[in-house]
Amino acid sequence: MAYWPAHIRTVFDMNHLDAAISTTFGQLPAILLTAPDGAQANITLYGAHLISWRGADGRERLFCSAKSALDGTKAIRGGVPVIFPQFAERGTGMRHGFARVSNWRVAEQGIDEGWAFAVFALASSDLAPQDAQAWPHGFALRLRIAIRANELTMGFEVHNTGGEAFPFAAALHTYFLVDDIASIRIDGVETEELAITDKFDHVYENVEPRLALVDGGVVLTLRQEGFRDAVVWNPGAGDAAALADMADEEYRRFVCIEPARLAGESLQPGQSWQGEYHVS
C-alpha cells in the first residue's frame, strides 16, 4: 500500500466530495476546491467567503490580513466578502450587511468542463433571530464560485421568496493581492489610468463592464455583469493604522475592486436578480 504523508491522509479521511474537500481556515469550516488543472480556491462557510484563490500557475491572487479574525466573531479582512443587503452605511442595518457574517450552506459542488465549482446558499430561515428581525424579508441567496486555469467566476443570485418587494444592495468586495499599491494601475474606471497614491475610497456608478488591474507585468481582466457599479478602496497608511484587524504596512499589499449594485429597483416577490464577476 502506498505511503501517504499525514496531511494527505487527513485530507483523504475527510468528507471527500468530487472537487471539494472539507477543511478549516483558522477556526472556520471551509471548502477547498481543486480543479483538474491544479487551480485552487478556499472558501469559508462563514460568509461564503473566498479567502484564497490560486490559478493553475500557483500564484495567490487574493490578500488576507495576518491580523484578520478567523473565528467567526468578526468579518474576515481580505478575500471576497459578500456584501448584502446593505453597502457600507448606506442604510439603517448592519454595516455592509449580514451576509459576510452569516453561516452559509454548501448546496452543490462538482467539476464541469474542467471548472471546479461550489454553490453556497443562505436563506432568510438560516439567519440568527436578531438579523432576521432587523431585515424581515423572505430571501434565498446563492453564490457560485468556479475556478479553472487562471480564471475565477463568481455568480451571485438574490431571490425574493417573500410576499413583499424589498430593496437591496450587493457587492463582491474583492481584495486583490498586489506587489505594491504604489505601482498598480486600474484601467476602465476613469478616463485615464487610475494610480493610487494615498487613501482612496471611490464609488463609480454605471462603470464599463470590463476593467483591468495592472500590477507590474501581470494584467488581471475584471468583467462584471448585472453589477452596474464598482468601488475602489485602499485605506492608505492613516486608515490602515486605525484598523485593528490590519497590520500597519499591509495596506501596500492590496487594492479592493468591487463589482457592486448600490441602488436599483426593489426585487418583487418571486423575482431574482443575478450578478457575475469574472477575473482572468
Q: Which residues bind ligand TA6 (CB under 6 A)?
A: 75, 88, 95-96, 173, 201, 231, 233, 256, 258
Residue 20 CB, shortest distance to ligand TA6, in Å, is 27
DSSP H stretches of helix in 116-195: 129-134
Q: For the chain, what is the radius of gyration of the CA atoms?
A: 19
- At residue 239's C-alpha, the angle toward residues 214 and 248, to 5°, is 80
Asked if residues 168 and 160 have their Cβ atoms less than 8 Å apart, the reply is: no
Q: Which is nearer to ligand TA6, 172 or 279 (CB)?
A: 172
Residue 246 CB, shortest distance to ligand TA6, in Å, is 9
Residue 15 CB, shortest distance to ligand TA6, in Å, is 31
Q: Which is nearer to ligand TA6, 19 or 80 (CB)?
A: 80
Q: Which is nearer to ligand TA6, 43 or 75 (CB)?
A: 75
- The Cα–Cα gap between 178 and 62 comes to 8
Residue 171 CB, shortest distance to ligand TA6, in Å, is 7
DSSP 9-39: HHHHHS-B-SSEEEEEETTEEEEEEE-TTS-
Burial class (CB in 10 A: 0-12, 13-18, 19+), 58: exposed
Residue 252 CB, shortest distance to ligand TA6, in Å, is 16
Considering only CA atoms, which of 190, 203, 182, 193 is closest in space to residue 255? 182
Residue 225 CB, shortest distance to ligand TA6, in Å, is 20
Q: Which is nearer to ligand TA6, 173 or 278 (CB)?
A: 173
Q: Which is nearer to ligand TA6, 65 or 150 (CB)?
A: 65
DSSP 191-244: SS-B---S-EEEEESS--SEEEEEETTEEEEEEEES--EEEEEE-HHHHHHH-T
Q: Which is nearer to ligand TA6, 96 or 228 (CB)?
A: 96
Q: Tell me the torsion sign for CA atoms 40, 180, 257, 83.
A: positive
Q: Which is nearer to ligand TA6, 75 or 170 (CB)?
A: 75
